[in-house]
Chains A and B, each alone.
Chain A
Amino acid sequence: MAAIDDLTEGRGSEPLGEMAAESPAMPEVVFDVEELSVYYGEFQAIQDASLKVHENEITAFIGPSGCGKTTLLRCFNRMNDLIETARVTGSLRYHGVDLYDSKVDAVEVRRRIGMVFQKPNPFPKSIRANVAYGPRVAGLAKKGPVMDDIVENSLRKAALWDEVKDRLDDNALGLSGGQQQRLCIARAIATDPDVLLMDEPCSALDPIATTRIEELMHGLKDDYSIVVVTHNMQQAARVSDRTAFFSVDVNPDSDNRTGILVEYDSTQQIFSNPSDERTENYVTGRFG
């Protein structure tokens, strides 16, 4: 379990003891989101989302484009900090620790919570350097046998090792799109995170590459908790254990479009017996 000490740098002596003690109450919860809202300046992108993400499960976020799935996902590793105008309210606990506590260092958070982006974004460096980047930056290992092991293991877990083991020093941009995305997964795994956040990881890939990534996600579930955003409902149905359906609430007066979490349940429930009409319309393709 991550105590807040682990997430703050150089301030280890001031633990928020109570919070750390509370967390065993629900050990399997990785993220506990309560009434989370995110604003870009005045614009509210998502309103009062509440849900719990569980350990070693795949949680899928589905919903129409613009309903705030990416925005919410990027709260989980404080990636929204990079956006000048973004502001977060509500509470987001990671193993019981408030991620938006002022003592929490976003850099420490991101070392534990890896992210895979919509478009494969390998560095224009060698395959090896891509995978080694995170561990090197975190000071886990330098060049040498330890790093070689990390690189190999990460690439194996990402099901890419056999394809690239003979050309580790080639530029990563020479790989196909699907290989690049698996490299990005390997790169995220290399820092030994606890959670993987994936934002439409297959949207730029062909069906065969998509299938490979989906198989990969199944395998990764044993070691990681995964949150995946997808606009592909079949994908959510195939890979996830739980599904959150988001939608857009249009304010008739101001014409403001705010994302809302409509329903969150086991994937089976969402797809076979949703309790909200909007969810049903969406998953049966009647969404207008």
Chain B
Amino acid sequence: METPDSVRGSLSLAALAGSPRRVRKERLISRVMFCAALVSVVVSALIIYALFSEAWIFMRDVDWSSTWGELGWFPRRGIYDMPTLLVASLWTTLIAMIVAAPLGMGAAIYLSEYARPTHRAILKPILEILAGIPSVVLGFFALLWLAPNVVAHIGGEGGRGSMLTAGIGVGILTVPLVASISEDAMAAVPKSLREASAGLGARNAVTTVRVVLPAAVSGLVASLIVAVSRALGETMVVFMAGGAADAAIRTYSPYDGSLTMPSAMASLASGTDQVVGEGLTFQSLFFVGLVLFLLTLGLNLVGDRFVNRVREQY
């Protein structure tokens, strides 16, 4: 059997080297892509650097007693009461979840367990449209429609914004997020488990509650964590409908107006006189940003772990 040898013999290195032009092109493409990836890494690093360096100045120089136990958040006067912002963030996020969790999960359960294909074909795009509404628009909607038509009927004032108004607005904003992550989690539950349950004489509702939801629980929790993180960071709706600008007195009532962490930052950055005030006013913006960044980062890490657990389960 000579053939294999002779074939091997006639095979030159050039035949396997490939077209030099193509190889060069391939290398070029890979370099361009690498640069694109590098830019985003560098930008992220710069953001974090800017955040930390300014926040560091604030932390170094601030009189820490002005960040706790004060009357409220008056950054232009050197009063940086963090509890004011934390309480407001907590309230709006909590109210947002009270709205978004049942609506989002309800929509997810309906889509995944009940909807006929025709109904699903209508509802899914609607949710996607809702997800695409700019938050400015939702801010207006919260202030001009939710406040007089909803908040006014549950004990609040219809004529101005409040944490309650802002919270409901943010909740509406996060419904699609909760719905889509929850639906993915439920869709990942194998059909064979639903069949097993149905085969044992369980109705659809029983199968959903006893089999599908428990099997999808980590994804459901993840959807809430991601939504909380989104609500904590939501700026525009709270800025517009939160019922406070520039400064806020510390309050524990959701019917009052206040500033959350991001809306406090937005108002600081959007003042007519730029950010001018006591020496550290500008840096306080970054300090609040850092706190918010660390909070959402932590939440997202936890959320990701839950999402991954769903993927690994079956």
* CA gap between A77 and B198 in the complex, in Å: 10
Stretch from B33-41, B158-166, B202-210 at the A interface: B202-210
Given known pairs A124-B215, A124-B313, A133-B210, the reply for A188 and B195 (CB within 8 Å) is no
Shortest A174–chain B CB gap in Å is 14
Other-chain residue from B116, B194, B199, B313 in contact with A115 (beta carbon distance below 8 A): B199
Find chain B residues with CB under 8 A from A82 CB. Answer: 194-195, 198
Given known pairs A124-B215, A133-B210, A137-B210, the reply for A184 and B201 (CB within 8 Å) is no
Say whether A87 faces chain B, with CB atoms less than 8 Å apart: no
Other-chain residue from B116, B196, B202 in contact with A84 (beta carbon distance below 8 A): B116
In the bound complex, do residue B210 and residue A188 qualify as a contact, i.e. CB atoms below 8 Å apart? no
Of residues 34 through 92 on chain B, the ones whose CB sits less than 8 Å from some CB of chain A are: none
* CA gap between A122 and B314 in the complex, in Å: 12
Other-chain residue from B193, B199, B211 in contact with A114 (beta carbon distance below 8 A): B199
| B144-180 vs A, Cβ < 8 Å mask (1 yes, 0 no) | 0000000000000000000000000000000000000
Find chain A residues with CB under 8 A from B195 CB. Answer: 79, 82, 117, 121
In the bound complex, do residue A110 and residue B206 qualify as a contact, i.e. CB atoms below 8 Å apart? no
In the bound complex, do residue A79 and residue B198 qualify as a contact, i.e. CB atoms below 8 Å apart? yes
Say whether A134 faces chain B, with CB atoms less than 8 Å apart: yes
In the bound complex, do residue A137 and residue B202 qualify as a contact, i.e. CB atoms below 8 Å apart? yes
Given known pairs A121-B190, A123-B211, A124-B215, the reply for A137 and B196 (CB within 8 Å) is no
In the bound complex, do residue B313 and residue A133 qualify as a contact, i.e. CB atoms below 8 Å apart? no
Find chain B residues with CB under 8 A from A138 CB. Answer: 200-201
Counting chain A CB atoms within 10 Å of each CB, the highest count among B190, B192, B194, B198 belongs to B198
In the bound complex, do residue A110 and residue B215 qualify as a contact, i.e. CB atoms below 8 Å apart? no
Other-chain residue from A84, A111, A121 in contact with B201 (beta carbon distance below 8 A): A111
Find chain B residues with CB under 8 A from A137 CB. Answer: 197, 200-202, 206, 210
Shortest A8–chain B CB gap in Å is 14
Say whether A220 faces chain B, with CB atoms less than 8 Å apart: no
Find chain B residues with CB under 8 A from A125 CB. Answer: 214
Other-chain residue from B116, B190, B200, B215 in contact with A133 (beta carbon distance below 8 A): B200
* CA gap between A276 and B116 in the complex, in Å: 43
In the bound complex, do residue B210 and residue A117 qualify as a contact, i.e. CB atoms below 8 Å apart? no
Given known pairs A84-B116, A84-B117, A124-B215, the reply for A134 and B201 (CB within 8 Å) is yes
* CA gap between A148 and B75 in the complex, in Å: 66
Say whether A157 faces chain B, with CB atoms less than 8 Å apart: no
Shortest B80–chain A CB gap in Å is 49
In the bound complex, do residue B198 and residue A110 qualify as a contact, i.e. CB atoms below 8 Å apart? yes
Shortest A266–chain B CB gap in Å is 29
In the bound complex, do residue B193 and residue A121 qualify as a contact, i.e. CB atoms below 8 Å apart? yes
Residue of A nearest to B196 (CB): A121
In the bound complex, do residue A77 and residue B116 qualify as a contact, i.e. CB atoms below 8 Å apart? no
Shortest B185–chain A CB gap in Å is 14
Say whether A101 faces chain B, with CB atoms less than 8 Å apart: no
Other-chain residue from B117, B193, B201, B210 in contact with A110 (beta carbon distance below 8 A): B201
Find chain A residues with CB under 8 A from B313 CB. Answer: 124
| A113-154 vs B, Cβ < 8 Å mask (1 yes, 0 no) | 011010101111100000001100110000000000000000
Given known pairs A133-B210, A137-B206, the reply for A114 and B200 (CB within 8 Å) is yes
Say whether A242 faces chain B, with CB atoms less than 8 Å apart: no
* CA gap between A111 and B197 in the complex, in Å: 11
Find chain A residues with CB under 8 A from B194 CB. Answer: 82
Say whether A54 faces chain B, with CB atoms less than 8 Å apart: no
Find chain A residues with CB under 8 A from B203 CB. Answer: 107
Counting chain A CB atoms within 10 Å of each CB, the highest count among B190, B196, B202, B203 belongs to B196
* CA gap between A4 and B79 in the complex, in Å: 77
* CA gap between A114 and B195 in the complex, in Å: 12
Shortest A230–chain B CB gap in Å is 19
Residue of B nearest to A187 (CB): B200
Find chain A residues with CB under 8 A from B201 CB. Answer: 107-108, 110-111, 134, 137-138, 191
Counting chain B CB atoms within 10 Å of each CB, the highest count among A108, A125, A133, A188 belongs to A133
* CA gap between A115 and B200 in the complex, in Å: 8
Residue of B nearest to A106 (CB): B198
6 contacts between A and B (CB under 8 A): A117-B196, A117-B199, A121-B190, A123-B197, A137-B201, A137-B210
**8 closest Cβ pairs, A-B complex:** A111-B201, A134-B200, A121-B192, A115-B199, A110-B201, A121-B196, A137-B202, A107-B201
Q: Please name 17 further chain A to chain B contacts, defined as beta carbons within 8 Å, in addition to the given A117-B192, A117-B199, A191-B201, sorted by A numbering.
A: A79-B199, A110-B198, A121-B195, A122-B196, A123-B193, A123-B215, A124-B193, A133-B210, A134-B202, A137-B197, A137-B200, A137-B206, A137-B210, A138-B200, A184-B196, A187-B200, A188-B200
